[in-house]
Structure 1
């Protein structure tokens, strides 16, 4: 029996997860590398021994190799049967993820992944929540850049507010990604696997809408004391000055839907949900125009088969040089940082409803979350820390089911664990009234 099984360990993201697992957990947990090809998995094992020479003897003798494939459900069942926690790094998840979830739900094996695909995430909840609860498997998707910063960022904001006797009612999150210029280094910052997942997510918007009609979430009953104009709903607007950007537009990733599911779980537990919006920031009018033009063309191409084929075949061209099948090099990854500014509106815990004459002022808290190499080592560290939380704090977590990171880990030490990762949570401004 292995503590941790990394499925897809020979892939670009999977190999980074393996490195972060050894960096964070050392030799105190038993580790297995799983995938389709023995030789590639053995190569990753050798890389780990080279990267961590002090642990090389233990890694060489104890790291296991498991041959498994989504095309062979028996191999996945065997893999799930020998692991306490499976980390899934094989995407696009809508094409390859479900058999792994099914195997873990049947075996009672805990599961985390780095998916950022709302259709996959919500489909797994609809199909496997009952089975996971019955077997005791805790299934948590979106444990990487999507959507640990936003989902656990809301938990962090709530903890800061509670320390001051406040209750958060609404949060705006402003996301930016920057890559420092490195002479002689290419512009590629995204691996093609991430690009493929993005294409299929856009292509299957209709399927996601149908899924949500068939499995609607409960209506969220937001705190009556919140500001109805926050978060903003405009297509484009100027963010708060201390965010440091010229424009903000709604972010089309998985974060908003993941946080909404977390808030539904919060409401089911008897607490008021927090209203949430996430936005991509842009530094100039030129950047805004280029982003909107590129997004328009990308959306059209992703909507029909021939266009998708072109996007998949020529990622470097279609991404304006940001994506390649070889992925970004280590220098570019190290120079890339994701910043997430979270602006929280909160009221005193004992505040009256604003309909009364003694309604309280609204307080504003501003925190910033930063992740170095967000797509790869940052994502890998996040998912490993989620897996470590499952291993070390299992009795403090939900007994089973398909859920979100905030719903699973809000009562754990995950936020403290993330401090041992390329991620920081910083208070930017003192509480103010508005």
Structure 2
């Protein structure tokens, strides 16, 4: 890639999440000695100038002279011009179902790496199916889900596998969102992406059948995920986690099996809730929203009145400054398997799992603090540590491409913590 390119181009910088990504890129450039260059991109010069002014006030850094690229996601020509100026495009324009593919295509055609913060399995897996070969030919890396969806869980599972000595049978992880005094809230774009994901859930099965035609070896000691119930491992009520995390971790597991000849294991993902009543209310709300999401008029109604239909969890304008500053998250990951390791990755153990480990990933507010940290550290690690000599271009999950890099150490230094809670021992 040309040295004249900007190291980072933040596309969608004037969006709700994009403005926080701009802040984080600016901080990281300062930490790195000011030797990296950033530009921001979007449709409106006025809005982008406002972003730079407000980001300067938030970060205490002088950003008003940061280069601005005018680019419209509906114009492939303008996308191409933007990508020609970038080493890495940090794509913050969602929902990615509607606006992601054209950016991926432009990046590949113009030799810019692409990172996004999508939590949309249909989009992510479609990009792998359609563009991995083309990205490989151009030595371009396309890495999706580089925010809270799903760096903490995907790299958390990778961290656990590094700490587990033996053969894993399963990893189950439990996501907990910790609200501050003013509660939790999310921006409307996140809700819009989720609604369209619910509406088009039927797309996934045929897509996966094409993308993954060969099933992975299956253990006879199966985990049985409960859609709702009390989990004895963590002594809490849980629901199946509706995010993309399980799908992404499964892609990483498959990559390790097919490329690195590592034994596959089962994955379960749950959201941890404070009480039975809270769990039941969440089930009822989720059921109603899920039904409405199947119809365009229902989706429009939810997006028009998100606070009513989600009981304040999503709202226009996103969370308040106080909500962002006082919220946090944690993910508890429990790995179970065998202390003895079989030499053949396809061979099956004939006794139940006998060994267990518990690790945790924790950090600040998930959507607008942890997500920018993860996205920017992924981009920085990609620039500094990933090359075609180590791994050819293509479409990857974060664990697949960053497993043997310093990314976890970088995240630890930026308050997204990976730690062993219970050392490996008997179940």
Identify the TM-score tier after normalising by the shorter chain: over 0.9
1:55-90, Cα deviation, whole Å (9 max, x unpaired): 42xx344x2101111111101001111100001001
Cα distance in 2 for partners of 1:213, 1:363 equals 33
* Displacement of 1:350: 3.6
Cα distance in 2 for partners of 1:289, 1:360 equals 33
Match of 2:291 among 290, 293, 300: 300
- 1:404-419 map, 5 Å: 404-419=397-412
**Cα-Cα RMSD:** 1.9
Question: TM-score, normalising length from structure 1?
Answer: 0.91
* Displacement of 1:397: 5.0
Q: What corresponds to 2:155 in structure 1?
A: 152
- 1:26-425 map, 5 Å: 26=30, 27-53=34-60, 55-56=61-62, 59-61=63-65, 63-161=66-164, 165-182=165-182, 187=183, 189-222=185-218, 228-230=221-223, 232-241=224-233, 243-245=234-236, 247-269=237-259, 270-348=261-339, 350=341, 362-395=354-387, 397-425=390-418
Cα distance in 1 for partners of 2:72, 2:340 equals 51
The 1:188–1:367 alpha-carbon spacing in structure 2 relative to 1, beyond 3 Å, is: closer
Cα distance in 2 for partners of 1:142, 1:266 equals 18
Q: What corresponds to 2:20 in structure 1?
A: 16
Cα distance in 1 for partners of 2:358, 2:201 equals 33
For structure 2, the residue ranges without an aligned partner over 5 or more in a row are none
* Displacement of 1:235: 2.6
* Helix, strand or coil at the partner of 2:178: strand
* Partners of 1:217 and 1:264 within 8 A in 2: no
Match of 2:9 among 5, 8, 12: 5
Cα distance in 2 for partners of 1:384, 1:354 equals 40
* Partners of 1:107 and 1:137 within 8 A in 2: no
* Partners of 2:49 and 2:64 within 8 A in 1: no
For structure 1, the residue ranges without an aligned partner over 5 or more in a row are none
Cα distance in 1 for partners of 2:302, 2:240 equals 23
1:268-313, Cα deviation, whole Å (9 max, x unpaired): 1211122211011222111111011111101100011111111111
1:367-417, Cα deviation, whole Å (9 max, x unpaired): 111121101111010010000011111227522011111111111111111
Cα distance in 2 for partners of 1:140, 1:104 equals 12
Cα distance in 1 for partners of 2:191, 2:423 equals 39
Q: Which runs of 4+ in 1 moved over 4 A?
A: 351-356
* Partners of 2:184 and 2:327 within 8 A in 1: no
The 1:355–1:268 alpha-carbon spacing in structure 2 relative to 1, beyond 3 Å, is: closer
Question: TM-score, normalising length from structure 2?
Answer: 0.92
Cα distance in 2 for partners of 1:143, 1:361 equals 32
